[in-house]
Amino acid sequence: MIFAGIDIGSNTAKAALIKDGTLMGTRVMLTGYHHLKAGTRVFGDVLVQAGLSRSDVSAIVSTGYGRASIDFADKAMTEILCHGAGAHFLNPDIRGVIDVGGQDSKAIALDDRGQVDNFAMNDKCAAGTGRFLEVMANALEVSLDRMGEVSLTADKPSKISSICTVFAESEVISMIARQEKRENIIAGIHAAAAARVGILAAKIRIQGPVMMTGGVAKNKGMKAALETQLNQPLIISPHCQETGAIGAAVLASRL
């Protein structure tokens, strides 16, 4: 039997298909304004990619901020449960998950069966989320994708002391005015964001092995900063960005 998961995040929409405990395929696209349209398209794309049609799928679970908009899903579940299930599916040894998403970052503790035991999420403030990095990338005129590699060349990471995204941005602008090196500022931004996420991990006393999920996991600089912050290596799957959608498909198979 084939099961599907659709994850409508604030930035990107993801879809995943699983069959008999193996991953058949995933798709990612920008969410845009219309959640249902994005969900319909990303789901259609992943079906085409796998050479399947709607009727081949036994059950669908939606997740992410737009989860309630996906009216053709059998059930909507929170991204916390889905990232937990997805991480466990990708690596059953995982006991901790750090997900840095577009407007949320979260730390999740899993038990040995992959069930969510506890979680912590950022408060209303955007510091430590993907949005924070996006704002900084704009201010520094670096594409989001290149931030990671640029920061790895830093020789002396700048110190960002503001915890608020807006204040941090003006702090960064004043650093640009002082002609601090771009790579050092970016490394400082990663360290500041990692410190915020580190608080969430500490709140739930996260245990290893820890997997980092979400699109931000592709950012090598952010990974390195978090590893320093958490004092342990992070496991990153090639499917880090689609972990929520994969978890949703796993949970669909248990409906």
Smallest separation, CB 194 to other proteins (Å)? 20
78 contacts other proteins (rule: CB under 8 A): yes
Among 118, 162, 207, 228, binds other proteins (CB under 8 A): 118
77 contacts other proteins (rule: CB under 8 A): yes
Of how many residues is the chain composed? Answer: 255
Among 70, 98, 116, 175, binds other proteins (CB under 8 A): 116
| Cα Rg of the chain, angstroms | 18
Torsion of CA 243, 244, 250, 255, to 10 degrees: 180
Smallest separation, CB 163 to other proteins (Å)? 13
Among 3, 25, 79, 110, binds other proteins (CB under 8 A): 79
DSSP-based three-state secondary structure for 113:
coil
Whether residue 237 contacts residue 243, with contact meaning beta carbons closer than 8 Å, is answered with yes
124 contacts other proteins (rule: CB under 8 A): yes
Return the residue matching tokens 């970052």: 105
Q: Which residues from 194-253 bind other proteins, rule CB under 8 A?
A: 203, 205
Structure tokens at 60: 């669908």
Q: Which stretch binds other proteins (CB under 8 A): 45-53, 118-126, 128-136, 157-165?
A: 118-126
Cα–Cα distance for residue pair 34/66, rounded to 1 Å: 9
DSSP-based three-state secondary structure for 121:
strand
CB nearer other proteins, residue 25 or residue 130: 130
DSSP-based three-state secondary structure for 126:
coil
115 contacts other proteins (rule: CB under 8 A): yes
Contact positions vs other proteins (CB under 8 A)? 65, 77-81, 104, 115-121, 123-124, 203, 205
